[in-house]
Amino acid sequence: MPVAFAQDAQAEAGADASAQAATPATPATPATPANPAEGTAATPATPATPATPAKKSWSELDVDQNGNLSKTEADAVNSLSKIFIEADADADGELTADEYKAYLAANGKAAAGESEG
C-alpha cells in the first residue's frame, strides 16, 4: 500500500472519530463597547452553545459484549432508556438489535431520538 494512501486512510479514520466526538459547551461572551481612545471597535455579544453528547454505537453500549443491551446498559442513553421496556418485545430484560429495529420501524426514528447505533 502506498504511504500516501495509508496516511489518507488514517486521516479518514480520525475524521470519523471526531465526527462522533462530543462537542464541549462554550460560554457566552458579553458585548464590549467601542473605545475610540484605544481605537477598539464594539463587539457584539455571543450566546452560549450547549454541549452535544457523543453518539454511541450499539457495541459501545453493550458493555458485556453479548450482543444485547440490558436495561442498565441502555440507561447510558437517555432516549433509549425511556423506550427500553416498550422496545423489549419479549420482556426478557434484554433488548436485541432486531427488537430495537422493529421498534424504530413501528414507531419512527424520532421516538428514540439519536440513540440508534
DSSP string, 18-32: HHHSPBPPB--B--B
Give kind and range of the element (H or E) at residue 72: helix 71-74
Q: What is the pLDDT of residue 18?
A: 39
pLDDT at 110: 55
Question: Does residue 88 lie in a domain region?
Answer: yes
Question: What's residue 14's pLDDT?
Answer: 39
Burial of 76 per CB tally in 10 Å (0-12, 13-18, 19+): middle
Kindly state whether residue 96 falls inside one of the protein's structural domains. Answer: yes
- Return averaged pLDDT per consecutive 10 residues of the chain, 117 residues in all: 32 40 75 86 83 80 94 91 94 94 85 48
How far is Cα 46 from Cα 27, in angstroms, rounded to an integer?
A: 9
Q: Do the domain assignments include residue 81?
A: yes
What distances in angstroms separate CA 26 from CA 31, 44, 45, 49, 52, one per listed residue? 16, 16, 13, 5, 11
Burial of 72 (0-12, 13-18, 19+ CB in 10 A): exposed
Please, which residues have CB within 8 angstroms of residue 7's CB and are 6 or more apart in sequence?
Answer: none
So what's the pLDDT on residue 34?
A: 85
Residue 50 domain flag: no
Report yes or no on 30 lying in a domain: no
Domain that holds residue 99: 68-109
Q: How many structural domains does the chain have?
A: 1
pTM: 0.51
Contact 74, 103 (CB under 8 A): no
